[in-house]
Amino acid sequence: MSRKPVVLITGASGEIGHGLIEALSKTPDRPVITLDLAPLDPGLAGRVRQHYVGSILDPQLLDRILAEYEINLIFHLAAVLSTRGEFAPMTAHKVNVEGTLQMLEFAQKEGESHGQPVVFVYPSSIAAYGLPNLNVKQQAGKVREEQFNTPTTMYGCNKLYGELLGSYYAGHYKQLSIHQVRGKVDFRGLRFPGLISAITAPSGGTSDYAPEMIHAAAQGKPYACFVRPDTRIPFMAMPDAVDSLLRLAECPHERLTRTVYNLGAFSPSAQEIHDEVASAFPDATISFQVDERRQGIVDTWPADVEDSSARRDWGHSPRFGFREAFREYLIPTIRERYAALKS
Ligand code: SER
């Protein structure tokens, strides 16, 4: 009896899942199954072969999926983000670390069952960095993957360890076993900057001030930005994030020189984001009311990242710079979206 070959997305009901399902559904030869605690958005449900409502921490559910499907590509998106994780660190650890471990073990079993390596795409984050203070942040310039790996949030610690776990499964799994079981997980990590989608609003992250500001302005709601105007971290438009997940997944293994890659696109200050939003929505009421605790988290994240390895190895090349992201993608798409919701 043969199982059906599919791509698996965990955390599929989240922001990245939304864009990724849409993109993958354009290639019908790659059917997708999805897993999330929440049901899929009705607009997406028709685009996937099967959606499982359940937890990545449920071994029985994972066994059912293993029995039914042959999986050679996993996008493991499920996570508790950095702000939410500080209110519930144990839960963040459970989901982000134990959940990732379960999914790596699942990938290993899949690989053992069909004999091919399972490509395991893992979004990590700028939260994996922890710069000690603002002076160092200002001097650091574009931060390389191996610098400042001293995160201060539970989410950042979890993501950094998830990267290590992935490298372990890819290169050293059961290295003392006399049977060769290594090489069944082809782990590929990318450290995303803050992501901004025109279609969905984020929840639970600390880079959320940028997307929140623009979504609030488009709906005519006032917004109080929780970081200082001079705060600067890298961001990327969601279509470029989805594109990079797909590019990395498709890259021949031998071209990859690292297991985890930085990704950058543009790096505006909160004031620059404010100015761009205010010029598109002149009636917007945007103020700055700094939340020192959330500010403290963003201040440990780099102002910019060195992403030349991703550009060289697998052709990371974001379509949208700062102005294009706002003028060609975010503003027009958000306008259209809220106008459609009103009518
Ligand atoms: N957007 C994430 C967060 O704010 C960072 O990866 O937690």
Reported as a single tens digit per residue, the pLDDT across 122-144 is 999 999 999 999 999 999 999 99
Please tell me if the CB atom of residue 206 comes closer than 6 angstroms to any atom of ligand 1: yes
Please tell me if the CB atom of residue 125 comes closer than 6 angstroms to any atom of ligand 1: yes
Signed CA dihedral, 329, 159, 155, 15: sign only: positive
At 314, which helix (H) or strand (E)?
Answer: helix 308-314
Residue 181 pLDDT grade (very low, low, confident, very high; cuts 50, 70, 90):
confident
Reported as a single tens digit per residue, the pLDDT across 63-111 is 999 999 999 999 999 999 999 999 999 999 999 999 999 999 999 999 9
Please tell me if the CB atom of residue 234 comes closer than 6 angstroms to any atom of ligand 1: no
The arithmetic mean of pLDDT across residues 234-256, rounded, is 98
pLDDT at residue number 84: 97
What atom in ligand 1 is closest to the CA of residue 202?
1
Q: How does the average pLDDT of the chain come out, rounded?
A: 96
Please tell me if the CB atom of residue 55 comes closer than 6 angstroms to any atom of ligand 1: no
CA distance 61 to 52: 9
Reported as a single tens digit per residue, the pLDDT across 264-321 is 999 999 999 999 999 999 999 999 999 999 999 999 999 999 999 999 999 999 999 9
The rounded Å distance from CA 67 to ligand 1 centre is 34
207, 260, 263, best to mutate for ligand 1 pocket (most atoms within 8 Å of CB)? 207
Q: Which two tokens stand for residue 307?
A: 């992403």
Check whether 2 has a pLDDT greater than 80: no
CA distance 102 to 61: 11
The CA-CA-CA angle for residues 232, 318, 264, to 5°, reads 35
How many Å is the Cα radius of gyration of the chain? 20
Q: Which residues contact 80 (CB under 8 A, 6 or more apart)?
A: 88, 91, 92, 95, 96, 155, 204
Per DSSP, the residues of 268-300 read -BHHHHHHHHHHHSTT--EEE---HHHHHHHHT
Q: Judge contact between 190 and 245, C-beta under 8 A.
A: yes
Please tell me if the CB atom of residue 73 comes closer than 6 angstroms to any atom of ligand 1: no
pLDDT at residue number 179: 85
Higher pLDDT residue, 126 or 1? 126
pLDDT at residue number 1: 60
Please tell me if the CB atom of residue 194 comes closer than 6 angstroms to any atom of ligand 1: yes
The rounded Å distance from CA 154 to ligand 1 centre is 12
Catalogue all structural domains in the chain, each as residue range(s) with its CATH number.
79-337 (3.40.50.720)
Please tell me if the CB atom of residue 16 comes closer than 6 angstroms to any atom of ligand 1: no
Check whether 174 has a pLDDT greater than 90: yes
The arithmetic mean of pLDDT across residues 202-220, rounded, is 95
80, 208, 231, 260, best to mutate for ligand 1 pocket (most atoms within 8 Å of CB)? 208
Check whether 219 has a pLDDT greater than 90: yes
Higher pLDDT residue, 339 or 56? 56
16, 82, 126, 236, best to mutate for ligand 1 pocket (most atoms within 8 Å of CB)? 82
SS3 55: coil
81, 191, 291, best to mutate for ligand 1 pocket (most atoms within 8 Å of CB)? 81
Higher pLDDT residue, 12 or 3? 12
86, 155, 160, 212, best to mutate for ligand 1 pocket (most atoms within 8 Å of CB)? 155
Count of H-run helices and E-run strands, the chain: 15, 13
CA distance 338 to 343: 9
Please tell me if the CB atom of residue 205 comes closer than 6 angstroms to any atom of ligand 1: yes
Using CA positions, which residue lies closest to atom 6 of ligand 1?
A: 125
Check whether 4 has a pLDDT greater than 90: no
What atom in ligand 1 is closest to the CA of residue 153?
7
Q: Judge contact between 75 and 10, C-beta under 8 A.
A: yes
CA distance 210 to 13: 21
Please tell me if the CB atom of residue 124 comes closer than 6 angstroms to any atom of ligand 1: no
| Beta strand 286-288 pairing with 223-225 | parallel
